[in-house]
Amino acid sequence: MPRAADANVPPTRTPRPLMRGPLIPSAAAALAIVTIAAGVRWGAMVAGGADSYGYVSQAGYWQRGSVVVQEDVIRPSPWPGAALTWSPLGYRPSPNRPDAIVPLYAPGLPLLMALGQLIAGFCGAFCVVPLCGGLTIWLTYLLGRRVFDAPGIALWSAGLVACSPVFLYQLMNAMSDVPVTAAWMLALVLVLSSRPFSAGLAMSAAIAIRPNLAPLAAVLVIWLAIVERRRSGSSAAASVCARFSAGVAVSVLGIGLFNARVYESAVTSGYGTTSDLYALRHFFANVRQFAAWTADVETPIVALAALFFVMPGILPTARIPHARLLLGGSLLVVLLSYVFYQPFDVWWYLRFLLPMWPILMLLTAATLESIARRWMSPVYSIAVAIAVVLCAWHGVRTAIDRSVFDLGRSERRYVDVARFVASHTDPGAVILSVQHSGSLRLYADRLTLRYDALDPLWLDRAVTYLESIGRKPYYVLDGGEVDAFRQRFGASNRTGTLDWPPLATLGGTIAVYDPISRRPDASPLAIASTRGAHARCDPPQSWPPVLRMK
């Protein structure tokens, strides 16, 4: 019986969430599908720059059975460092064979792309990143459901990731950032689902894609050991950790064998040794840039995630034990993997930190929900929804302003230039280039020479040598490469002055030069642009690429 004093007290009304029941998982699934569609619709379906060409071409070499590419032209080339000049972007000279080149990049993403190509042909490689993008969004939602007993928080966090400018930028590129994020999130969700061996395999995939994130496996092992020991005892903890480690060992051993066979040793990657990439002096530059870029593209609201660690009392209670150890350790490892890395000065290098984005956005959403619940209780669901929608709008608006949704069309220039070169040059021609040094091999089937690796005193002699062996040289220069080429070669080489009209141009930014003819009265041809065309994915001249280039 209620007390008389309570008879006139109105019952407390629990705020109702905006969505209940099956609507929330359905909304999360719809968000994942929209993410996949966006990646396919606006993403770049071209193997153009260093990363995309490096990954896609390596996928082709895996289908040939080897990633060591023999180039007969290396040995007789008379200039110093010839092997490096014959290595396109994404490749380096083989340390084991003087007449071969090998890829720079880890094999994880190329193997996924090769699988996609076996299923859907050449263009299947470009479906990998959009599919991993959709998987990342769905796994972010699942992570939120497992960490907090609040489906709304899980949905908001997935929305924040989906609308993040850096996530959207990488969704449009055939690069490793989104796939490694998806693999890492899969490992984390499987660990929380008590599937240690499957989690180990997912972690193994993440390591194969980006080996420097291997320390994340240690975070999961430590968390598993602590949780299982308290739950079931030391022997059960040892068994669970062993099953997880067995899954991880697949890629650890595989990457070690790959490195030992292709590079100098099991611990040397295509980029070189750890000391070649990391240094203490990079710390402050990276911290300053990462903080500024995050505040700029995500707004300072993501700093609210820190309250989960410094003011835990105001946030929802986590459903998992030692949540701060697991989530905080994960954030810390990703940060430490890149704060000492050689710095870059473009905002989209925030992509290095993308594996921590789902956790960061989950904690941001949880903090927003807690603040709204505490101080806006009657309308907290609406307040959180408005805050998330505003953040999402800012993210998409920022992505539009930074031409993220134009990447697919802008990358068409690689195919356009290559098609022109294929139709206007002899099959034996050699193209001196940098930015197009990979795409010309793929889409024009022409051998390329990296002029940025050529000794500045050797340009004229290299041009003469190539002509003498029946391989007419051309230059393909993109944007600022024209001035860089003149600066590098103009003072010491007649063919380095570029004081004659180009053979052809594309949009006033890309020029094709003929250093043999050098006709001063010629009018440049206009390279046909397919930037506005509906063509989505162009097959290369031949596929898979050959393992011996003559």
On the CB side of 10, CA atoms within 13 Å amount to: 3
Tell me what pLDDT residue 11 has.
43
Buried b / exposed e across 271-302, counting CB within 10 Å, b at 16+?
Answer: beeeeeebeeebeeebeebbeebbeebbeebb
Q: At which residue do the structure tokens 């080429």 appear?
A: 485
pLDDT on residue 8 = 45
Give 142-168 pLDDT, tens digit per residue.
999 999 988 999 999 999 999 999 999
Q: Which of 356, 363, 353 is nearest to 304 (CA)?
A: 363
Q: Residue 102: phi, psi to the nearest 5?
A: -135, 160
Q: What is the pLDDT of residue 535?
A: 59
Looking at residue 20, its pLDDT comes to: 58
Q: For the chain, list residues with pLDDT below 50.
A: 1-15
What per-residue confidence (pLDDT) applies to 549? 87
Give yes or no for a contact between 211 and 255, defined as CB atoms under 8 angstroms apart.
yes
**Per-residue confidence (pLDDT) for residue 299, from 0 to 100:** 87
Other beta carbons less than 10 A from residue 241's beta carbon: 19
Token pair 């905006």 in the structure block, residue: 18
pLDDT of residue 14: 38
| pLDDT of amino acid 15 | 43
Nearest to 451 by CA among 518, 440, 174: 440
